[in-house]
Structure 1
């Protein structure tokens, strides 16, 4: 059942939200720390004191995380580079930004992404197989869109231990191996169908050891359901990338799944989980294929009775108007500030716990303009064009405080 009520303190920031001693704060944040060339992110994070638009953005997104204080956070759109992941933790998160409390994450997980990995096929059907990194056509012909291998990757940071030996990745899982998949077979050749990977980045099962219990942090970043043609190849892929977690947490449906080490199946009955990520799918608005995200939000094993919300999203929707005026969804739940002509602001980012986890508080870091912290989210401004037009990102950090059950319901 779709959420009807947000649990955030509207108008308040996460830093002002009381924390229960027995809760764990999970978060997801598409912070747009992708860079146009390979290695540039590492170079910038290694030299944090340089004052340019790139470092200012990195300091700003670090401050958002510091003011939100998640215990476990998925970072989307962070170019794959284990050294860069360490540098961001050491040089930015662990250093106070504008008086915000430094956040130290002794545990992190990073792994390769399908983005920018050449497929060897003409996946955009323009008559050319592009093998030259750095241009749009190369990205279109890669297993996941990227100008170089690993662009738009992911990182998990945690204050609690990560069971590294228990991590499972699904980067190479083939789309065709999902029963009843939505692949547009009339568009992709038989050879392409045999090679295509489901995940546009990767899907990870990252076990977190929190408060004497294990929570499987199930993270991904499905492709946007746009930038294609009438075949809707990206919309269909987005749908099935989301569906992957539906099957993974449902024991009777997961037998077809295999990970990158060949181990088969999904979670066992009763295992606890939190699904997180920029799903690029709104329950009511935008270009999703067959209401893709409702596969999760209406799943009986998932606690989606409440969605994180913010007053800033409501204010932005009214102020920007445009496509927002035609939306069916409640703007309180928006997490992304997109173009106001189309598709408008959307609910795209999610932290979805298993049923049996009690949500005690949640929110979206989207302050109203009167709040001094609105400088971190801002509005589109050409001065930020080298990054993405915003002082941080066009997405907002989403967080949820959970009291973990000793024995989740089956």
Structure 2
């Protein structure tokens, strides 16, 4: 768990092309003539850094890549992979920013990681994150506004991320999203090489102000009854601890699928004011607002993305909402069950299918639907109601002591509408 970070519509294939096309790679679902399937997955890699990605022999990343190669998703969201940029650790002068997603794809996934595993070629999308982005304010009320980060310690010999230091936490607690250095805990979206990321239509909401969300849960200091964040901070405070993305992807033949990606802050590591619990709640609620466009709900012109475009997702646009949401609908410390309230019961989302792990023996203390080693369901792949769920699950390693991640890969096989999906 990370401590405290023109909208295309569906186009139908010509009938002759539909009969010839299958997108699922190694899907376990039976082939049906005319059906187009896609495997979508999310995987929190746990604090992957630029220095790690520059090592083709990195032991933990090789194991993570092998797990991905066994499941072979067509679309994969990675959480907790650093956004490389000037001023961040490991960045080399002159390199383009935001290459770590492609670096992981090219260095590890495009190379077989074990006998019998085929390489996979992906194209990647990354965008700036709020994690490790200094605010200039004393957000945690410890009496100082920390704006300089210490050099992070390197990963251990087995590739596990180094523990946080007190100096790193002090810096991260005053950033717009928790990160002990700029770009830490970011996201990357990988899509199969023959898929097209519609870059000009991507929407990001990194800078969307928290106060602009209707009925925003502004934290209150119970000791004083005053807002935890004063007016100057509140006006500048972004809702997203990392970012919220709407990334439209065109599949071979013309279908466009929107990937709605985010990684809300954990509802923990705060005090009685509940500043992180409230932010997690509203980061999740953002998606309900984004999907509840007129005539279904309220006017969504208050939703202004980083590109200056207004409004939510078109009501006929197919989508998959995915990522580490840091909230379990049944247990944990989240505030008022935001996943269940705003997502699983949303009229545009299929929330009844719950991916589960096949086999419990290596993790006897976990529930079948737990997606994290610490015993909660926090990682989600939630399709829109127009898609057909064919299969899904949670991939856990055979060896619980293997240095992989504190999360598990979660995946669904989906059939697109109008293609024989049932």
Long gaps (5+) in structure 1: 1-13, 36-40, 50-54, 325-330, 339-344, 368-373, 380-389
- What SS does the corresponding residue of 2:44 show, helix, strand or coil? strand
Find the aligned partners of 2:30 and 2:60 in 1 and give their Cα distance. 28
CA deviations on 1:136-168 (whole Å, 9 max, x unpaired) are 111000000001111000000001211111111
- Residue equivalent to 1:22: 36
- Residue equivalent to 1:332: 368
- Residue equivalent to 1:74: 77
Find the aligned partners of 1:33 and 1:60 in 2 and give their Cα distance. 15
- Residue equivalent to 1:293: 339
- Residue equivalent to 1:216: 258
- Residue equivalent to 1:52: none
Correspondence 1:46 to 2:49: no
Conservation of the 8 A alpha-carbon contact between 2:47 and 2:184? no
- What SS does the corresponding residue of 2:338 show, helix, strand or coil? coil
Larger helix fraction of residues: 1
Find the aligned partners of 2:313 and 2:187 in 1 and give their Cα distance. 22
Residue in structure 2 matching 1:358, options 385, 388, 405: 388
Correspondence 1:400 to 2:412: yes
Change (3 A) 1:240 1:19: farther
Kindly state the Cα deviation for residue 276 of structure 1 after the two structures are TM-superposed: 0.3
CA deviations on 1:53-75 (whole Å, 9 max, x unpaired) are xx111101111111110000000
- Residue equivalent to 1:108: 124
Residue in structure 2 matching 1:207, options 245, 248, 268: 248
- Residue equivalent to 1:141: 174
Find the aligned partners of 2:27 and 2:396 in 1 and give their Cα distance. 13
Correspondence 1:274 to 2:306: no
Find the aligned partners of 2:237 and 2:116 in 1 and give their Cα distance. 44
Kindly state the Cα deviation for residue 19 of structure 1 after the two structures are TM-superposed: 6.1
Find the aligned partners of 1:161 and 1:104 in 2 and give their Cα distance. 16
Conservation of the 8 A alpha-carbon contact between 1:15 and 1:67? no
> Bigger CA drift: 17-26 or 128-137?
17-26
1:11-410 matches, within 5 Å, as 17-18=28-29, 20=31, 22-35=36-49, 41=50, 43-49=51-57, 55-81=58-84, 82-134=98-150, 135-159=168-192, 160-185=195-220, 186-211=227-252, 212-252=254-294, 253=298, 254-294=300-340, 295-312=342-359, 314-315=360-361, 319-320=364-365, 331-338=367-374, 345-366=375-396, 374-375=398-399, 378-379=400-401, 391-406=403-418
- Residue equivalent to 1:371: none
Q: CA RMSD in A?
A: 1.9
- What SS does the corresponding residue of 2:403 show, helix, strand or coil? coil
Change (3 A) 1:100 1:116: farther
Kindly state the Cα deviation for residue 18 of structure 1 after the two structures are TM-superposed: 4.3
TM-score (norm 2): 0.79
- Residue equivalent to 1:10: none
- Residue equivalent to 2:162: none
Kindly state the Cα deviation for residue 103 of structure 1 after the two structures are TM-superposed: 3.8
Conservation of the 8 A alpha-carbon contact between 2:264 and 2:283? yes
Change (3 A) 1:80 1:218: same
Find the aligned partners of 1:235 and 1:44 in 2 and give their Cα distance. 31
Conservation of the 8 A alpha-carbon contact between 1:169 and 1:260? yes
Kindly state the Cα deviation for residue 263 of structure 1 after the two structures are TM-superposed: 0.7
Conservation of the 8 A alpha-carbon contact between 1:116 and 1:142? yes
TM-score (norm 1): 0.81
Kindly state the Cα deviation for residue 89 of structure 1 after the two structures are TM-superposed: 1.1
Kindly state the Cα deviation for residue 78 of structure 1 after the two structures are TM-superposed: 0.1
- What SS does the corresponding residue of 1:333 show, helix, strand or coil? coil
Kindly state the Cα deviation for residue 104 of structure 1 after the two structures are TM-superposed: 2.7
Find the aligned partners of 2:74 and 2:285 in 1 and give their Cα distance. 27
**Count of residues paired in the alignment:** 348
